[in-house]
Structure 1
Amino acid sequence: MKRYIAGLVGAVILASAAATPAQAAAPADPVKALKSQMAVGKGVKFTDVMSFVELAGKTAFLRRTGVMQYGKPVKGGMGDILAADINADYTQHNGPVFKTIGISLADEHTISIGKISYVKGEMPKPLPKGKSWLKVRAPMPGGSSSIYCQQPNPAEPATLQALIKGGQKTGRTYKGSISKARLWQVSPWYRAASLLKDNDGALDYELTLGPDNLPQRLLTTFPATEILGVTLAGDDVFTIETRFTGWGSKIRVTPPPAGQVYSPKKRSDD
């Protein structure tokens, strides 16, 4: 009887061990793990927090929340990321640095689908009565605040590969530096988010993968002088921390109601 029970328990353990890897295993290669999540209509959620760091301490001033949706690439769009819906919340602080930053920042909502974007927020000129969204014939993930947003996007396979290849690995974290020229080369998202081509400078980064080998957290740091020109202390920096959640979620980014959209006169090549 004891032998029978021992054999039965052993069989159950072996069966459980055989079933578990098939259910829980994730691709060992992070790029393959990412590609496995890139089905049409699926995507990921994220949050960004950008801070100014000086001798006196760290001050967060811009927070973004959003989603990215995968789909068939559109010529002139954002590559494998078909669409994005991003809310940016800006907090004004006192001091000369934030006075400079505040010139180009405000609360903003941006929806980008293919090569078309819709922007809601402060405008250089008031929109016509009854219109709250401006249609822009260009992908603009992050809108006008994109210069202060996370620049590497590890939700893109080529960008993820570049970050992994250029980083020193400790556990599930990769630390390294990537040039803006390299980002421009590999990342459709970066090319779309950058209002102007910028090959100067580099970003220090710390990328952490989750147990599923998918991007979980990305922290980048770069000198404040790249944006401000001159600061009170030469070693002041900006940091941007992004966290990714909900990989593989069903996501559908839709344009705002047509009646609320102001569309400037189309160019002949549109």
Structure 2
Amino acid sequence: MRRSSILLGVLALLLTPSLPGTAHAQSRGSLTQAISALKSEFAEKSSVLFSQKTHDGFGSDVVALTVAHGKHRFAAKVGVYASDVTDTFTTGDMPTNFRMINVGRDSYTQGTWTKIPEGKKWLHWRDADGFLWSQNLVDALNPKFLQLISSGAEKTSARDRYDGVPTIRYDGSVKVGSLGSRQAGIYYGPRDGRSVGGRIKWKLWLGPDNLPRRFQTEIVSDSYGPEREVDIVRMNVLYKGWGTPVHIVAPSKNLVAEDD
């Protein structure tokens, strides 16, 4: 899978390795209720807190680790309308810190790699696709992704607690025609002739309200050639505090520099 951190060369965000499951699939289940629950949160302009880890590498070799945490605010039909995310990206022994605030179509970034004019603390980007949440992300907050994986979802016997509530786990796997990444996350799509596809293996834990409490996935890209190891991204996301009031605003203008 081709990975490029659009704009500033930071590898896509967040997330941990897949954990071996012990539960056996009992029956096929539907994620329709989860989709409806998410859309209701969007309509209510609700919010959620999250923490996330990503291991990115080839085969069993981990090349990069990203640890992130933050908060999202929703809007009807749009989904994630605003977010405030802090992450640390590590490759070898070189950690890179990064923070990004998105409000609508505006993104504000800062990090140890960023060249910001003296007296300023943020760079402003308008309509930067690489930074904005979108509806083709491999993301448990994306109803379109949940719809994609719904037909193959299998309800398991696992009964774990996350965010202080009992959960029901669904497992599955889906093949997609193309994969890629940007700062906002891993994205998928139909075969486009430019990038390779792959298989998305996933586990999703839903609370009594049918909202996600944990999402775990292993994204295995198709091989670029017979001598190339496949690219594997392993992600683990925990969600908590659904409906907790969050305050996400753009930084003060006097602290912001425009990207040239």
Structure-2-length-normalised TM-score: 0.65
- Specify the code of the residue in structure 1 equivalent to 2:145: T
Question: Going by fraction, where is helix more abundant, 1 or 2?
Answer: 1
Contiguous gaps of at least 5 residues in structure 2: 1-30, 158-168
Following the alignment from structure 2 to structure 1, what is the Cα–Cα distance between the partners of residues 248 and 33? 29
Change in 2 beyond 3 A, CA 1:69/1:249: same
Letter in 2 for 1:30: A
Specify which structure has the higher proportion of strand: 2
Partner of 1:132: 121
In structure 2, C-alpha distance between the alignment counterparts of 1:224 and 1:55, rounded to whole Å: 10
Greater relative CO, 1 or 2 (CA 8 Å, sep 6+)? 2
Conserved in 1, the CA contact under 8 Å of 2:64 and 2:92? no
Is 2:83 aligned against 1:67? no
- Runs in 1 of length 4+ with deviation above 3 angstroms? 52-60, 139-143, 189-199, 223-226
Residue 149 of structure 2 corresponds to residue 163 of structure 1: yes
User: Which consecutive residues of structure 1, in runs of 5 or more, have no partner in the other structure?
Assistant: 1-26, 74-78, 95-101, 266-270
Q: CA RMSD in A?
A: 4.0
What amino acid is aligned across from residue 65 of structure 1 in structure 2?
H
1:116 aligns to what?
A: 106
What aligned pairs does 1:50-89 form with structure 2 within 5 A after superposition?
Answer: 50-52=54-56, 61-72=65-76, 79-89=78-88
Cα separation, 1, equivalents of 2:137 and 2:49: 16
Matched, 1:200 2:196: yes
**Alpha-carbon distance change, 221 to 252 in structure 1, aligned in 2, over 3 angstroms:** same
CA positional deviation for 1:45: 1.1
In structure 1, what is the Cα distance between the partners aligned to 2:175 and 2:74?
25
Q: Secondary structure at the match of 1:37?
A: helix
Q: Which of 127, 130, 140 is the matching residue for 1:154?
A: 140
DSSP-derived class of the 1:107 partner: strand
CA contact 2:64–2:91 (8 Å) conserved in 1:
no
Percent of aligned positions that are identical: 23
The amino acid of 1:153's aligned partner reads: D
Is the CA contact (8 Å cut-off) linking 1:112 and 1:141 kept in structure 2? no
Distance 1:139 1:168, change over 3 A: farther
- C-alpha change, 1:136 and 1:180, in structure 2 (3 Å) is farther
Structure 1-normalised TM-score?
A: 0.62
Larger Rg belongs to? 1
2:38 pairs with one of 34, 38, 44: 34
